[in-house]
Amino acid sequence: MPDQAAPPAPETPEGLLARLAALGIEARTVRHAPVFTVAESRALRGELPGAHTKNLFLAPAKGEGPFLLATLEESRKVSVNALARAVGAPRLSMASPGQLMAALGVPPGAVTPFGLVNARPGTVRFVIERALVEGPERIWVHPLTNAASTGLRPADLLRFLRHLGHAPEVFDPPPAAGGP
């Protein structure tokens, strides 16, 4: 029987931050109690200037094609179906905790674009809201744990993901249902 190597262990938050530093990416990380929702994040973050995000990890409904990781401004309201249409994806549904761990190496509540450090290029499509890329000086995302937040320039996040072999896509989300 051929010897099959186990998949590598997911990157650690410390390893991730070391990778950013090695690329000369300035990042500020603040530790806090674990947060699982945007509301909890707002209550704990204190004075962290910049844009705060929420992240959705979605699976193609029929199992065909890559997963989709979407990073949105924290107060953005969008249905999964409207998001799929906006980025030209097939029907999507929320990925399971097992799919999330297998693809990004993080549990629910810690979804982050930094999880792409654990994903093979082409297995996860990454989209980010245009307002996060073009507006703020700094955006905040989890560094592979929901017990911390890391702020960095949006351009540096995209540069890091490209360095990993991923192709970030900037998109304009649809208006919220019933909204302007």
How far is the C-alpha of 177 from the C-alpha of 175, rounded, in Å? Answer: 6
Given a cut of 50, the residues of the chain with pLDDT beneath it are 1-3, 179-180
Closest C-alpha among 88, 107, 87, 85 to residue 96: 107
- Kindly report, residue by residue over 55-68, the tens digit of the pLDDT: 999 999 887 789 99
Is 114 part of any domain? yes
Is 24 part of any domain? no
Is 177 part of any domain? no
How far is the C-alpha of 100 from the C-alpha of 15, rounded, in Å? Answer: 20
Single-letter code of the amino acid located at 131: A
Global model pTM greater than 0.85: yes
CATH of the domain at 139: 3.90.960.10
Dmax (CA) for the chain in angstroms is 61
- Kindly report, residue by residue over 86-100, the tens digit of the pLDDT: 999 999 999 999 999
Q: Which residues pair with 28 in a beta bridge?
A: 151
Is 90 part of any domain? yes
Query: Within 13 Å, how many C-alpha atoms sit on residue 95's CB side?
Result: 26
